[in-house]
């Protein structure tokens, strides 16, 4: 994983590479420019100043600590359910495909096209499904997304498929409509699995930096999320926002999207990640 991160995260790595022998003031600039935010930057800086130790080592330790939120674990009998939600364009469908591809290494996978609002959303996911070689359950535009998810879970249960990846819509007529639809999908999932989706993930466009937190709150207040996927991490100068995003929302980062290809995803490990930044 480190190797892949290393080659893909050139932007943010360049910024952090200057930290090695830098003064606290320079480190402060680097963190603020990477969109770590005032609150976490000053907390980190206080630690650096207090310890008078190797600044880079302190910074690394602090970043690892701030990124080590407990992750959900997949439990119980299959099908294991991964649902992705988020605003339009944040990378849900691409991420659903990447996850489907990733989980084929662990078992059988079925994708559910729960975006019945956007034109051609099913076709987009279907193209990925064919490329990856996994089954897909979808419907026509305008049909009930919760019904699609129900069909997918019924199929997965009867065919003993191990992983179901649920893509969802990012935009309906209003925010309330969108949340009601997501809640309805959740009610269907709970019929199959009391605890809800094993991974209930929000996709966050990391090029927006901290600005994405406000948008994300609408989702955290509507449905019971348990993790984040930061997408477009390959193209962001604001990658430091991973710290405020995860901590303000109190959600662990499970994956990073690092490109448009189906393999461009890495499981997030705080230590690997921080070490890759400073390599």
Ligand X SMILES: Nc1nc2c(ncn2[C@@H]2O[C@H](COP(=O)(O)OP(=O)(O)O)[C@@H](O)[C@H]2O)c(=O)[nH]1
Q: Which residue is nearest to ligand X (CB)?
A: 257
CB of 176 to ligand X, least distance (A): 19
Return the range that interacts with ligand X (CB under 6 A); candidates 16-24, 83-91, 185-193, 212-220: 83-91
Return the range that interacts with ligand X (CB under 6 A); candidates 88-96, 130-138, 139-147, 247-255: 88-96
Residue 89 in contact with ligand X, rule: CB under 6 A:
yes
Closest CA to 179 of 142, 224, 147, 214: 224
Q: Map the chain to HEC letters.
A: CHHHHHHHCHHHHHHHHCCCCCCHHHHHHHHHHCCCCHHHHHHHHHHHHHHCCCHHHHHHHHHHHHHCCCCCCCCCCCCEEEEEECCCCCCHHHHHHHHHHHHCCCCCEEEEEECCCCCCHHHHHHHHHHHHCCEEECCCCCCCHHHHHHHHHHHHHHCCCCEEEEEECCCCCCHHHHHHHHHHHHHHHHHHCCCCCCEEEEEEEHHHHHHHHHHHHHHHHHCCCCEEEEECHHHCCCHHHHHHHHHHHCCCEEEEECCCCCCCEEECCHHHHHHHHHC
Residue 258 in contact with ligand X, rule: CB under 6 A:
yes
Return the range that interacts with Mg ion (CB under 5 A); candidates 71-79, 93-101, 216-224, 245-253: 93-101
Return the range that interacts with ligand X (CB under 6 A); candidates 9-17, 42-50, 51-59, 256-264: 256-264
Closer to Mg ion by CB, 85 or 93: give it.
93
CA atoms within 13 A on the CB side of 103: 25
Closer to Mg ion by CB, 18 or 88: give it.
88
CB of 121 to Mg ion, least distance (A): 5
**32, 218, 259, 262: residue in contact with ligand X (rule CB under 6 A):** 259
Residue 232 in contact with ligand X, rule: CB under 6 A:
yes
Residue 243 in contact with ligand X, rule: CB under 6 A:
no
Residue 85 in contact with ligand X, rule: CB under 6 A:
no
Q: Say if residues 97 and 121 touch (Cβ distance below 8 Å).
A: no
Return the range that interacts with ligand X (CB under 6 A); candidates 126-134, 176-184, 227-235, 269-277: 227-235
Closer to ligand X by CB, 28 or 167: give it.
167
**257, 266, 269, 274: residue in contact with ligand X (rule CB under 6 A):** 257
Residue 92 in contact with Mg ion, rule: CB under 5 A:
yes
Chain residues that interact with ligand X, rule: CB under 6 A: 86, 88-94, 170, 231-232, 234-235, 257-260, 264
């Amino acid at each position: 994983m480190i190797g892949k991160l290393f080659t893909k995260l050139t932007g943010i790595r360049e910024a952090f590479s200057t930290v090695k022998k830098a003064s606290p003031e320079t480190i402060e600039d680097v963190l603020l420019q990477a969109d770590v935010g005032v609150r976490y930057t000053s907390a980190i800086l206080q630690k650096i100043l207090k310890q008078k130790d190797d600044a880079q080592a302190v910074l690394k330790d602090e970043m690892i600590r701030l990124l080590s939120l407990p992750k959900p674990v997949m439990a119980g009998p299959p099908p294991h359910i991964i649902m992705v939600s988020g605003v339009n364009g944040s990378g849900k469908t691409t991420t659903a495909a990447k996850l489907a591809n990733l989980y084929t290494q662990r078992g059988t996978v079925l994708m559910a096209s729960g975006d019945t609002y956007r034109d051609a959303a099913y076709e987009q996911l279907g193209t990925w499904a064919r490329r990856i070689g996994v089954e897909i359950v979808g419907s026509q535009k305008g049909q009930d997304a919760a019904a699609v998810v129900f069909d997918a879970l019924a199929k997965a249960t009867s065919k003993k498929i191990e992983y179901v990846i649920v893509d969802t819509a990012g935009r309906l007529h209003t925010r309330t409509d969108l949340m009601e639809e997501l809640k309805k999908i959740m009610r269907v999932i709970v019929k199959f699995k009391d605890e809800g989706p094993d991974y209930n993930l929000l996709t966050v466009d990391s090029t927006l930096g901290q600005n994405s937190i406000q948008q994300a709150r609408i989702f955290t207040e509507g449905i019971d999320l348990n993790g984040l996927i930061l997408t477009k991490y390959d193209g962001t100068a604001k990658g430091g926002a991973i710290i405020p995003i995860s901590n303000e929302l109190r959600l662990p980062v499970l994956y990073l999207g690092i490109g448009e290809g189906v393999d461009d995803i890495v499981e997030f490990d705080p230590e690997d990640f921080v070490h890759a930044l400073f390599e």
